[in-house]
Structure 1
Amino acid sequence: MQGAYSTYFDNLFEALRMARPDFKAQAEYSLRAGREAALGTAFAPLLAELETAIGGFDENLADRGQSTAGGTTAFRQARAEWLEFVDDTMKDHVTPKLRKLPVYADFKKFGKSKLAALPQPALLTESERLLALYTAQQPSLYPTLGAEAQAKYAALAAADASRDTQAATIDAAILDLAADRAAIARAQRRLKAQLELTFDQPEKVYSFFDFSAAKVNKSGKAKAVLVPNQD
């Protein structure tokens, strides 16, 4: 029977579709409204619980799926530098020196435009093959080609690994901090329950809450959980 009735007892504050900064802001609104209303001693522990929950909430951590920020920037820079190196090497050394040889066709498979069109994993794989080709043809091109190419590729691979690590860290942090959102939702639910015991008018109860920043669903309508019951 628990499943049949769970909808009636769901915490509407946990269901609010808000970014973390907005979620914290709406909780701060409730705390401020509750204190300004001077509701009495029955509300003191409830407002204190809400204040504690707000204090433990990190609004700077964005929602799941956020960009990995510095990791993404570093990867884009390393990718651009690698592709520029490939292009310059092709124009300045490979084409002038190997154009009439069969191996030139192998280099053509790894042109800048072809590599640039590849997704991240394929770019790394194909770049490794090009790196081997550079090393094999180094005597026909120039003495330091292998070392220079390896350094550029190493920077690309390192930036990619760093980006993946940052993404995993952010995901783990979001899971760890799920409890801080639940703590605010729990405190607000308890505050709402006491308000309902104090005021008969739903409008009065909901005046202590601000859902204006809640996101809407694809139909453009606010989720039903955000609409106060007027019965």
Structure 2
Amino acid sequence: MFLYFIIGCCFGSFLCLVAQRVPQDLSIISPRSHCVNCQQTLRWYELIPLLSIVIQRFRCHSCQARLSPIYPLAELTSGALFMYAGTYSTETVHLIWLAIAFLFSLMDIFHLAIDTRIFYFSWTFLWVYWLLTAQFQVGTSFVFSLITFGLLRYGQAYLGAGDTLLLLSWSGGLTSSQLIMLLFIASCLGISYFGLTALLHKKRKQLPFIPFLSIALWLILHFR
């Protein structure tokens, strides 16, 4: 189990890099990982998932700029997902689905947007898989397509275009009741988070909703 966790943490670190660079049309290979504040290239011992940032007390070794807690949280979450995959007998497509959702969550946190190239590729992959395996939910997709059209035309103030299209891409693999439950859980999580930040008197920013959708997706896939 510990090996799964270590591999998952490394994978989470890589996904953070992808989520930050790809939406900005930057290479994931060059330049090497560096501090976004002072541009100093990170040394090998500053790249150890979880351990490095804790030892450095969440600050850059070179300029002492505060580092975002998103990085260790992403690594920790990815490690937990890998442990989950190693513990439970889960369909491979569900693991791919959750990994994609996790990547989109990070993009939403960093940029409040997702990369359209990866999004449409993942959409095509999932729908083709569900069609070939006779698991495609025609009724759910048809109804949510109509809802999506209405939301994109009249309801942008309530649900973002990216969130709406993401739900449409997921609708092919969920029954109507599962999709409604997913939306309900995600909304409850989002409202709870918003209320908690209000109680802590933190400055309100635009709320990334895809992380809550992803958590709800994992719950739906696990308990169904």
TM-score, length basis structure 1: 0.22
* Structure number, greater radius of gyration: 1
Larger relative CO (CA 8 A, sep 6+): 1 or 2?
1
TM-score, length basis structure 2: 0.23
